[in-house]
Amino acid sequence: MAREYKVIDITEMARPTKVGGVETYYRHRIETRGGTVLHVDIDEKDFTEEKAGPILAAKAVEADKIKAL
């Protein structure tokens, strides 16, 4: 079975927190099986193969369902 998405690129980004610190997150630009290109932000704690894969797959499937409406 083919993957639901293809990662185009990943950018490491930072944003301020409400308590005055800084948090790192990763912005993934993906292309879905249906050709939709979208950005998915993943927190640093979830930036592992085991955690990021299901997040990206779910977003890709949802985007293709919306595109099909």
pLDDT at 2: 72
Amino acid making up residue 44? E
Between CA 46 and CA 26 the distance in angstroms is 9
The full set of domain ranges for the chain reads: 5-67
Tens digits of per-residue pLDDT, 16-34?
A: 999 999 999 999 999 999 9
Between CA 7 and CA 48 the distance in angstroms is 14
pLDDT at 63: 97
pTM higher than 0.75, yes or no? Answer: yes
